[in-house]
Amino acid sequence: MGGFGNTHYKSSTNRAPRRADAGWPGHEAWVWLRLKLIADVGLVGLPNAGKSTLLAAVSHARPKIADYPFTTLKPQLGVVLRHDEEFVMADLPGLIEGASEGAGIGTGFSAMSSAVR
């Protein structure tokens, strides 16, 4: 069951309510998680390292390629055919030092990657 949200407590004098009601007691459970992979190979590196260019060269994928950092905002997939075998290659957004603290695009691409299947 949900509780009251901020809009319930909002008024003309209390525009940013800081009130929280007590919730229900939690419970402990063992959960089995299954990892779903979007690709067999992932290209990881700094922005402007040529990851999108490599993906475009070895597959029929057409990722956006531009002369500025953080062009790739969500993973781009391409199917690579080599010696009668196929595998999926993913161009992942560039990661930089401090991304976990929000530098660059931070880890914001992870929410966008759920749309790519």
Q: Give, for all 117 residues of the chain, the pLDDT tens digit.
A: 556 777 777 788 877 777 767 777 888 899 888 877 788 888 887 777 788 888 889 998 888 888 777 777 778 889 999 889 999 998 877 666 666 566 665 555 544 444 443
DSSP 115: T
pLDDT at 95: 67
pLDDT at 30: 92
pLDDT at 67: 77
pLDDT at 112: 44
For 62-65, which contacts have Cβ atoms below 8 Å and span 24 or more sequence positions?
Answer: 63/91
Token reading at 55: 């993906």
User: What's the CA gap between 77 and 100, in Å, rounded?
Assistant: 24
pTM beyond 0.75: no
Burial status of residue 58 (CB atoms within 10 A of its CB: 0-12, 13-18, 19 or more): middle
**SS3 assignment, position 56:** helix
What is the spatial order of strands in the sheet that 41-43 belongs to? 41-43, 85-91, 76-82
